[in-house]
Amino acid sequence: MINIRQALLVGGVHGNELNGIFLVKKFEQSRFRHLIQRSHVKTSTMLANPGAIAICQRYVDLDLNRCFRAPDLSDSSLQGHEHTCAKAIAQTLKHRSPDFLMDLHTTTANMGLTLLLGSHHPFNLALAAYLCEGNEWIKVLQVTSTQADGRLRSLCPLGLTLEAGPIAQGTFDAHLFFKTEQTIFKILDYINAWNQGKPLTTPNTLTIYDHIETLDFPRSATGDIDAMVHPQLHGNDYHELHPGDPLFMGFDGKVTRYEGPNTVYPVFIQESAYLEKGIALYLTTRRHVSIPDISSL
Amino acid sequence: MINIRQALLVGGVHGNELNGIFLVKKFEQSRFRHLIQRSHVKTSTMLANPGAIAICQRYVDLDLNRCFRAPDLSDSSLQGHEHTCAKAIAQTLKHRSPDFLMDLHTTTANMGLTLLLGSHHPFNLALAAYLCEGNEWIKVLQVTSTQADGRLRSLCPLGLTLEAGPIAQGTFDAHLFFKTEQTIFKILDYINAWNQGKPLTTPNTLTIYDHIETLDFPRSATGDIDAMVHPQLHGNDYHELHPGDPLFMGFDGKVTRYEGPNTVYPVFIQESAYLEKGIALYLTTRRHVSIPDISSL
């Protein structure tokens, strides 16, 4: 039976995502430390990128959450701030050997609380189903393995990334702060009950949104952005987008429509940090999966 | 009679405020240039901080919109990116000698379209009254002269800063893009009619919000931020805040209330760029001013 004795809660992989940073800072205070301890699971905390946190920027040199690929971690020629940071974190993880990892992020997109699972391990799926039940504002997003590559969560198969939004970089959202905190508590309670051989009742299905396509902004011949996300799409993460629905609006008001054959569900609509990556939004499809029996794990 | 022959439209004083940058880029294209020309007023454009725009950051070294103080502009020891930039802009303004300046900004606060007037020149007041009439989402904010010091708009007494929000840094808002554009067109139409001796009908009163206090986040003994903007206040720019109403919520849920004696109107609630300046929000009071007769100007 799997036994999750050590959990690790990480904030500040991106230095301007304040909600997660200040949740970790809260739990690092002695008067709040007990909140993330359970009888059968110990939780430690980590602020991943103190250099970026100090300047309230996503990163110093480059995106830390793309630096955890195995070849990069062992490449001594990679010496920038975030590569050095990633190697130190990987060492710490080897030392602490957490069984479960929670990585706290925020997004400027209207994605409520989105779970990105570290793997499709049956325990992760069961936990996600437990968290989603009765909580319409919690969603599970599955990106491709190439996209997940290099992420911190790839270092620990049990666990997840929690994205909370919409929150502008460098700002707080108190409402989402406490919702994220409650979700962390529920995760720890779930693990704790499991460890005691008394697993909490878990729904037998889960809805997952699978990334199928990445859309850039429309561009001019010279590569300049030529259109914005359409006002009707703005903030409509996880809502149905039908063939023919508006996607973009040009600076001249011209509308670009979605021309795919099927209904899709856009997410990360206008995530600010994705602008430099040439990403305006993701398209996903929705599926319902059965939760495997985890009693024999 | 004052005669406004040359208008200047500026975007990109802050490199991550995309709506204004792309409005200027639009009007710099030959197919759109005519949109900002009028029979009796010529409009030129400027992208103020190309270095910051290229990296989609507010600034390279420091906030450009604090670099326009007269002593700084003539201080040859100030050589950083933005100081150099400010001096070049001041030279350009001397050369082009615009009679009217519009400076386009965005804010993460929910401030609709906010006008910050370059001065309380009667023409500015009359124009603002004209723009506000029937448009509840346009407000006029007056900051203290110390706060206005160093701003680009201080270089041209006729004109204004347009703040549009809420827009996360590094993102577009198509709805506010076209509202801002329409407002620019109305400004130019107003000036054009004035120049022809046929001033447009202007209301005789205007509502102004006057800055009275700047509030930082509550802090711990060690200077760390100790609370967030309260969920009830979040996004409530320009709404009444009464004595006893919640202002902040601690990371432990503890509420800090407004203890001032009178009703006030908070603005710039959680402007992301103000975090580093130790500003959580501004408090303002509201007053109604009479518009002076401008027919003899």
pLDDT in tens, B78-125: 999 999 999 999 999 999 999 999 999 999 999 999 999 999 999 999
Label residues A148-171 b or e (16+ Cβ within 10 Å = b). Answer: bebbbbbbbbbbbbbbbbbbbbbb
3-state secondary structure of B204: coil
Number of residues written out for chain B: 297
Assembly ipTM: 0.94
B32–A252 CB contact, under 8 Å? yes
Mean pLDDT of B250-271: 97
pLDDT reported for residue A241 = 98
Is the CB of residue A230 less than 8 Å from the CB of residue A247? yes
% residues pLDDT > 70 (chain B): 100
* 8 A C-beta contact, residue A17 and residue A59: no
CB B283 within 8 A of CB B269: no
Give the number of beta-carbon pairs within 8 Å between A and B. 89
Q: Which residues pair with B108 in a beta bridge?
A: none
Indicate the helix (H) or strand (E) that contains B47: strand B42-47
Q: Give chain A's residues under pLDDT 50.
A: none
In chain B, which residue's Cα lies nearest the Cα of A227?
A: B174
A231–chain B nearest CA distance, Å: 6
Residues A86, A88: Cα–Cα separation, whole Å: 5
| Nearest by CB: B56 against A26, A253, A276 | A276
Position A158 scores a pLDDT of 96
Alpha-carbon distance of B55 to A15, in angstroms, equals 17
Q: What are phi and psi of A2, to 5 degrees?
A: -70, 145
* Segment B3-49, tens digit of pLDDT: 899 999 999 999 999 999 999 999 999 999 999 999 999 999 999 99
Q: Distances in Å between the alpha carbon of A73 and those of A69, A89, A159, A195, B105? A: 6, 10, 20, 32, 41
CA B249 to chain centre: 28
Residue carrying the six token digits 């990556």? A277
Q: Which residue of B has its CA nearest to A168?
A: B168
Task: Please enumerate in sequence order all residues whose Cβ is within 8 A of that of A43, keeping only pairs 6 or more positions apart, or say none.
Answer: A6, A7, A8, A9, A27, A36, A37, A188
What does the DSSP assignment read for chain A? -----EEEEEE-SSTT-HHHHHHHHHHTSTTTGGGG-BTTBEEEEEES-HHHHHTTSS-SSS-GGG---HHHHT-TT--SHHHHHHHHHHHHHHHH--SEEEEEEE-SS--EEEEEES---HHHHHHHHHHHTT-TTEEEEE--HHHHTT-GGGG-SSEEEEEEES--TT---HHHHHHHHHHHHHHHHHHHHHHTT-PPP--SEEEEEEEEEEEPPPB-TTS-B-EEE-TTTTT-TTS-B-TT-EEEEETTSPEEE---SS-BEEESTT-GGGGGGT-SEEEEEEEEEEPPP-TT-
For B155-162, what is the mean pLDDT? 95
Contact B231 A175 (CB under 8 A): yes
Q: Do B26 and A251 touch (CB under 8 A)?
A: yes
Number of CB atoms found within 10 A of residue A97's CB: 11
Out of B169, B225, B230, whose CB is closest to A169? B169
**B233: helix, strand or coil:** coil
What are the angstrom distances between the C-alpha of A154 and each of A61, A149, A158? Answer: 21, 7, 9
List of chain B residues whose C-beta atoms are within 8 Å of the C-beta of residue A276: 56
A253 Cβ partners below 8 Å, 6+ apart? B178
Looking at residue A25, its pLDDT comes to 98
Determine the Cα–Cα distance for residues A177 and A167; give it in Å rounded to an integer: 10
Q: Give the whole-angstrom CA distance, residue B102 versus residue B105.
A: 10
Set of chain A residues whose Cβ sits within 8 Å of the Cβ of B221: none
pLDDT at B148 over 90: no
Q: A65-124: per-residue pLDDT in tens?
A: 999 999 999 999 999 999 999 999 999 999 999 999 999 999 999 999 999 999 999 999
* Inter-residue long-range contacts of B204-207, CB under 8 Å, 24+ positions, other chains counted: B204/B129, B204/B290, B204/B291, B205/B129, B205/B288, B205/B289, B205/B290, B205/B291, B206/B125, B206/B128, B206/B129, B206/B132, B206/B140, B206/B288, B206/B289, B206/B291, B207/B132, B207/B139, B207/B140, B207/B286, B207/B287, B207/B288, B207/B289
Residues 6 or more apart whose CB falls under 8 angstroms from that of B5 comprise B40, B41, B42, B99, B195
- CA A162 to chain CA centroid, Å, is 4
Please enumerate residues of A whose Cβ is less than 8 A from a Cβ of B: 22-23, 25-26, 32, 56-57, 108, 166, 168-175, 177-178, 224-225, 228-231, 234, 249, 251-253, 270, 272-273, 275-276
Cβ separation B173–A228 shorter than 8 A: yes
